[in-house]
Amino acid sequence: MSRPSARALFVWTIVWFNLVFLALPTVVVIIASFTAGNIVAFPPDGLSLRWYASLFETDSYTDAFLRSLYVAVICTVISLPVGTLAAIAMARYRLRLAGPIQVYLLLPFTIPLIVSGLGMMLVFGEIRILGQLWPVGFAACAINLPFMIWAVAASVNNLDTDLENAAANCGAPPLVTFVTVTLPAVMPGVITGGLLMFILAFNEFIVSLMLVDARIVTLPVLVYNSIRSVITPDLAAIAVVYIVVALVTIWVLDRLVGLEVFLKSK
């Protein structure tokens, strides 16, 4: 009888450990953002929405937020077709480049972002596109694309290999088969991957830092610059904005794909 309870104790210890160390800081930040005082403090010094108001009134914040959004959209728009086609091609056909592609898929786990960022900075400087915003989105796509490919490949590998044969058997020519059967059947993976790319690009810091200048800072870079001077409660409010964006993404994922599908496919 003591065995199950010992195990329960172990499991619950881990659960609480996670809750405390992952969720607690988040909760603290959320509460702190509602402070009425002039410094970040916990517990907050009175309650107000003044720091949120200041966020919306400060052009540098709204501009940076919109720039981050733009970067994230560029990254997602590029990675959707590229990542989807790459994943389907890899899973369905024998490619001559299979070896190099597999190495590429492992890069994000092995190469520090600072290295990729440096490389991008040199290349973009060379072709004179540094100082514009869209290359930041492109860079985020190039660096994070493997995650998109993983997500779609997981979906493709779950498909019956006879699915396309079945479509042909039903009278669908190859291109129609691809559009009406293959693509919709891997849609859960495409949506998952697309949202992942969006959130990764929206949050991207190091590569942004190396590719932007003072005129086009993105939100993470702006936050970083602010931290180096005075830590004011509007930073806590920005943190809450990030939390909200993450929650919205998860909500969209749940609506479109269903979270169980997502958690199981990984």
Partner 1 sequence: MVRLDGVTKRFGTVTAAEDVSFALHQGEFLTILGPSGSGKTTVLRMIAGFMQPTAGTILLGGRPVSELPPHRRSIGMVFQRLALFPHMTAAGNIAYPLKMRGFPRAEIPKRVERFLALVQLHGLGDRRINELSGGQQQRVAIARALSFEPDLLLLDEPLASLDRKLREDMQLEFRRIQQELGVATINVTHDQREALVMSDRVIVMDGGRVQQAAAPQDAYRQPANRFVAGFIGVTNFLACTVLEAHDGEAEVEIGDHRCAGRSAAGGEAVGRTADAALRAEQVLIGEAGQAIAHADMLVPATVTEVIFEGDRVVYAVDAPTLGGASLRIFDHDPLHHKTRRIGETVTIGWKRRDLMVFPRDA
Summarize as ranges the residues that interact with partner 1 (CB under 8 A): 159-160, 162-163, 165-174, 176-177, 180-181, 184-185, 187
Instruction: Name the minimum Å distance from CB 183 to partner 1.
Output: 9
Query: Both tokens of residue 140?
Result: 């985020």
Instruction: Name the minimum Å distance from CB 173 to partner 1.
Output: 5
The smaller minimum CB distance to partner 1, of residues 11 and 166, is found at: 166
The smaller minimum CB distance to partner 1, of residues 58 and 180, is found at: 180
The smaller minimum CB distance to partner 1, of residues 118 and 256, is found at: 256
Dist. CA 207–CA 250, nearest whole Å:
24
Instruction: Name the minimum Å distance from CB 250 to partner 1.
Output: 22
The smaller minimum CB distance to partner 1, of residues 59 and 260, is found at: 260
Instruction: Name the minimum Å distance from CB 181 to partner 1.
Output: 6
The smaller minimum CB distance to partner 1, of residues 69 and 159, is found at: 159
Instruction: Name the minimum Å distance from CB 259 to partner 1.
Output: 16
Nearest to 185 by CA among 148, 160, 165: 160
